[in-house]
Structure 1
Amino acid sequence: MKAAVYTKYGPPEVLQVKEVEKPTPKHNEILIHIKATAVNSGDWRLRKADPFAARFIFGLLRPKINILGSVFSGEVERVGDTVKDFKVGDLVFGHTDLSFGSYAEYNCLPENASIALKPSTISHQEAAVIPFGGLTALHFIKKANIKPGQKVLIVGASGAVGSAAVQLAKSFGADVTGVCSTTNIPLVKSIGANKVIDYTKEDFTKNGETYDVIFDTVNAISISRSIPSLTKNGIMILSAAGMPEMIQGLWISMTSNKKVMTGVISHNKTGIVFIKELIEAGKYKPVLDRTYSLEQIAEAHAYVEKGHKKGNVAIRV
């Protein structure tokens, strides 16, 4: 089978499409013929080992896992003899978690992984781009216990996590304000934001508004300047935080009524099924910027790494 392989950390060009051995499902696994995957921030960061500390988990001198890609949409080709939830021919989408491997024509995953039947109303490419941002945003929105009527500010509202957060917060009944650049205002409005702030023209920390939740999806805000924009018992979510932001957030949580949430996300089948049902109810739609072929994977990585994409970038496998 074809797969985009990398054997050393570095620029996009370290990704090379090669022939590799097709996997065989174990008793509890399904073999998925992947039709589409996506390039997300986690992919390019791991490709170049950014931050350096990632090497202590994924390989100090060279990557232990040679096929990246954490999301997919495809068709079940084979099932293990104990599998009950899926059958051959099912169209599915989901997240591979830390096993990666979806930059390939085939991948095997346990049936209890973050996998659900693909909604019939969307394409494989649209389905593949949903799980990364969708599951990240859902994790934090549920953790923050967002309630109907709460005011939620989402920074980076046009990105993969941000566009998901806008739609999910709306589905929980929140009054959503998105923060993005001028060119992305129509997009953020189209996915349900009640109000949009153009960060090139307005600083939300100076507009006198306060919010129950501030969700920074791109590590773009000053924590100290933004904390006064939270209500008395408000919550700040930093889904893209580095170690300095985590330490600062922990101190704020320990010394005030306000809470800062960071950390590694956790997700499971329940989350992807929840998002699937929102899609089918017309309350969530994928935001797709560009589509590349697997052979263009290096080009796709270069584009995503620039940080200017709208929503998501899909890879046609």
Structure 2
Amino acid sequence: MKAAIYTQYGSPDVLQLRDVDKPVPKDTEVLIRVHATSINDWDWGLLNGDAVNRLINGIFKPKKMNILGSDIAGRVEAVGKAVTCFKPGDDVYGDLAGRFGGFADYVCALQNQVAKMAIGMSFEQAAAIPQAGMLALQGLFDILPLKDGQKVLINGAGGGVGTFGIQFAKQFDVEVTGVDSTGKLELMRRIGFDHVIDYTQEDFTQSGREYDLIVDAKTNRSSFVYLRALKPSGVYATVGGRVPRLLQVALFGKPIQWLTGKQTRIVVLRANRDLAYINELFEAGKLTPVIDGPYTLNQLADAFRHFGRAEHQGKIVVTIPA
């Protein structure tokens, strides 16, 4: 089978399309013919080999995971003898949750790492959902459950988390502000943000406006900066970003709450937990993934370059045709 592999850390240029052995499912696994996948921050970190990901995947070169891709959508081709949830021919999607291997013709997944796709959902739409959809949903509801009348801000609103987040938030009568770069503002208005802010022109933490909840998909500034944009008892929730900033949130979250009454929290991803709910929203016409692309597997390096420039709108999806 074909797979995009990397044997050294670096730019997208290190990716190579090669023939590799087709995987064989273990007792609790399903073998999936991958039709689409998408790029996440973790893929980017592993490819570039930042300090944290080198500890996970090999200090000097990739050892454990040399095929990236965690969000996948495809058709079950075979199942292990202990699998009870799926059969060959089922269309499924999910987050491989650290196992990776999605940028290939075939991948094996544990049966609890995938769910059946919603009626009418394309493989491209399904591949866009798992990680960004879960982070958006859990960031909005797990720490400070939304209710009518609240004000929400999403930082990094034009990417995957933000474009899902606005759709989840608008299931309630809430006012949602999105922050991102100039080129993404039109999309953000179109998909329902009440207010949009161009971070190159305005610092929302200096505006005097306060929010009940800030969901941060960037986390590129100190968590202390965001406190002045929170209402009393407001919540700042980060769903990912630079490790030093995440450590700051983890270390100072409790002292900040004791001193100010405001919360700063890290959303710990619960992979695939809410796919059934997302299927319900999709089938009801209340959720539409925003797709950038799709690219093909042959264009994977270009897709990663696009991701690295942070110019993508919604999720960058890669198709793997039969």
Structure-2-length-normalised TM-score:
0.91
Instruction: Name structure 1 gaps, 5 residues minimum.
Output: none
1:128-154 Cα offsets, whole Å, 9 max, x none, are 111121112223223223221221100
CA distance 1:276–1:173, shift in 2 (3 Å): farther
Question: For 1:242-281, what aligned pairs fall within 5 Å after superposition?
Answer: 242-249=242-249, 250-255=251-256, 256=259, 257-262=261-266, 264-268=268-272, 270-281=273-284
- Partners of 2:130 and 2:271 within 8 A in 1: no
Residues 167-176 or 145-154, more deviating: 167-176
Which amino acid is 2:288 matched to? K
CA distance 1:137–1:316, shift in 2 (3 Å): same
Distance in structure 1 (CA, Å) of the matches to 2:219 and 2:118 = 32
Question: For 1:203-218, what aligned pairs fall within 5 Å after superposition?
Answer: 203-218=203-218
Residue 233 of structure 1 aligns to a residue whose secondary structure is: strand
CA distance 1:276–1:209, shift in 2 (3 Å): same
Q: What is the alpha-carbon root mean square deviation over aligned residues? A: 1.8
Which amino acid is 2:132 matched to? G
| Residue 287 (structure 1) aligned with residue 290 (structure 2) | yes
Give the CA deviation at 1:180. 2.3
- Partners of 1:146 and 1:172 within 8 A in 2: no
CA distance 1:173–1:221, shift in 2 (3 Å): farther
The corresponding residue for 1:58 is 57
Distance in structure 2 (CA, Å) of the matches to 1:165 and 1:206 = 23
The corresponding residue for 2:231 is 231
The corresponding residue for 2:8 is 8
The corresponding residue for 1:197 is 197
CA distance 1:27–1:243, shift in 2 (3 Å): closer
CA distance 1:120–1:58, shift in 2 (3 Å): same
Count residues in correspondence. Answer: 314
CA distance 1:112–1:206, shift in 2 (3 Å): same
- Partners of 1:38 and 1:128 within 8 A in 2: yes
Distance in structure 2 (CA, Å) of the matches to 1:13 and 1:185 = 30
Give the CA deviation at 1:290. 1.4
Residue 208 of structure 1 aligns to a residue whose secondary structure is: coil
Give the CA deviation at 1:211. 0.5
Give the CA deviation at 1:199. 2.8
Distance in structure 2 (CA, Å) of the matches to 1:197 and 1:71 = 29
The corresponding residue for 1:182 is 182
The corresponding residue for 2:112 is 112
Residues 252-261 or 98-107, more deviating: 252-261
CA distance 1:102–1:299, shift in 2 (3 Å): same
Structure-1-length-normalised TM-score:
0.92
CA distance 1:152–1:181, shift in 2 (3 Å): same
Distance in structure 2 (CA, Å) of the matches to 1:245 and 1:156 = 15
- Partners of 2:32 and 2:77 within 8 A in 1: yes
The corresponding residue for 1:139 is 138
Distance in structure 2 (CA, Å) of the matches to 1:148 and 1:34 = 38
- Structure 1 stretches of 4+ with a deviation exceeding 4 A read none
CA distance 1:247–1:112, shift in 2 (3 Å): closer
Distance in structure 2 (CA, Å) of the matches to 1:6 and 1:48 = 10
1:86-119 Cα offsets, whole Å, 9 max, x none, are 1111111111110001001111111112x12122
1:15-73 Cα offsets, whole Å, 9 max, x none, are 111111111112221111000111222212110112x1221111112112111000111
Distance in structure 1 (CA, Å) of the matches to 2:135 and 2:29 = 24
Distance in structure 2 (CA, Å) of the matches to 1:94 and 1:171 = 23
- Partners of 1:210 and 1:231 within 8 A in 2: yes
Give the CA deviation at 1:173. 4.8
- Partners of 1:147 and 1:173 within 8 A in 2: no
Instruction: Name structure 2 gaps, 5 residues minimum.
Output: none
- Partners of 1:75 and 1:90 within 8 A in 2: yes
Give the CA deviation at 1:264. 4.2
Residues 171-180 or 121-130, more deviating: 171-180
Question: For 1:296-307, what aligned pairs fall within 5 Å after superposition?
Answer: 296-307=299-310
Distance in structure 2 (CA, Å) of the matches to 1:251 and 1:29 = 40
Distance in structure 2 (CA, Å) of the matches to 1:300 and 1:100 = 17
CA distance 1:292–1:172, shift in 2 (3 Å): same
The corresponding residue for 1:49 is 49
Distance in structure 2 (CA, Å) of the matches to 1:66 and 1:133 = 22
1:164-201 Cα offsets, whole Å, 9 max, x none, are 22222223553211112333223212322222223344
